[in-house]
Amino acid sequence: MQIVLASTSRYRQEIIARLGLPFHAEPPVCDETPLPGETALETALRLARAKAQSLAEKHPQALIIGSDQVALLDGQQIGKPGSFENGVKMLQWMSGRTVVFHSALALYNSAEGRLQETVGITRVTLRELSEAQIRNYLEREPDALHCAGSAKSEGLGGALLERVESDDPNALIGVPLFKLITMLANEGVEILR
């Protein structure tokens, strides 16, 4: 069965590629705006599910992977900053604090109409950061502006972090890989065959 990743994120593609399975990636058709009153976990799950199911008509015989990540601090969802100055403000707010990242994963079997979904929780404590350190980081790691809260842990962003607590280190980068392996096995796809 064909495997499709509903994402244009090169980081998610790199994680999936580690499994050594043939797959291809394409953009999902999905409005990523959080709904009023929705928790971070609910937003992440809804968007992962919507991304996976958005490609079902185009791929009626596929296993479609959808993923979404929502960060939470003080009860507020933290999105992608979109601009350098917004990135500075976000990181100043997060400095010295613990942010909870909800990394949702959905696997949709479009032939059977079967959906599996889960959320990986990662608690990230940032170091106390000066404005100069934050600006230097964002100048040196411009891709961070496309990450929730500008915290791109897989690059220079590792220097921002004091501690990471998770049952899967891949979840922080965008895909709970350990759980995906189980989901694929449930669909008859064995990684170590």
Q: What would the pLDDT profile of 132-177 be if each residue is shown by its tens digit?
A: 999 999 999 998 998 888 888 888 999 999 999 999 999 998 899 9
Q: Where in the sequence is the domain holding 44, given as residue range(s)? A: 1-185
Residue 191 lies in a domain: no
Q: What total of structural domains would you count in the chain?
A: 1
What is the model's pLDDT at position 148? 82
Residue 193 lies in a domain: no
pLDDT higher than threshold 90 for residue 99: yes
Residue 123 lies in a domain: yes
What is the model's pLDDT at position 155? 83
Question: Is the alpha carbon torsion for 182, 187, 191, 192 positive or negative?
Answer: positive
Residue 3 lies in a domain: yes
Q: Which residues contact 53 (CB under 8 A, 6 or more apart)?
A: 64, 66, 106, 108, 115
Please, how many CA atoms are within 13 Å of residue 192, restricted to the half-sphere of its CB? 2
The predicted model gives 59-67 an average pLDDT of 98
Residue 192 lies in a domain: no
**Per annotation, catalytic residue among 68, 74, 167, 168:** 68
pLDDT higher than threshold 90 for residue 55: yes
To the nearest 10 degrees (0 to 180), the angle between helices 131-140 and 84-94 is 130
Residue 134 lies in a domain: yes
68 is catalytic: yes
CATH code of residue 114: 3.90.950.10
List the one residue out of 87, 82, 69, 78 whose CA is nearest residue 7. Answer: 69
Please, how many CA atoms are within 13 Å of residue 116, restricted to the half-sphere of its CB? 16
Burial class (CB in 10 A: 0-12, 13-18, 19+), 132: exposed
Q: Which residues contact 98 (CB under 8 A, 6 or more apart)?
A: 73, 123, 124, 125, 126
Residue 16 lies in a domain: yes
Q: In the structure, what pLDDT confidence band is assigned to residue 33 with cuts at 50, 70 and 90?
A: confident
Token pair 């600006």: residue: 135
Q: Which residues contact 141 (CB under 8 A, 6 or more apart)?
A: 152, 155, 156, 157
The predicted model gives 107-130 an average pLDDT of 97
The predicted model gives 113-121 an average pLDDT of 97
Burial class (CB in 10 A: 0-12, 13-18, 19+), 91: buried
Q: What percent of the chain has pLDDT above 70? A: 100
Residue 102 lies in a domain: yes
Identify which has the larger pLDDT, 130 or 1: 130
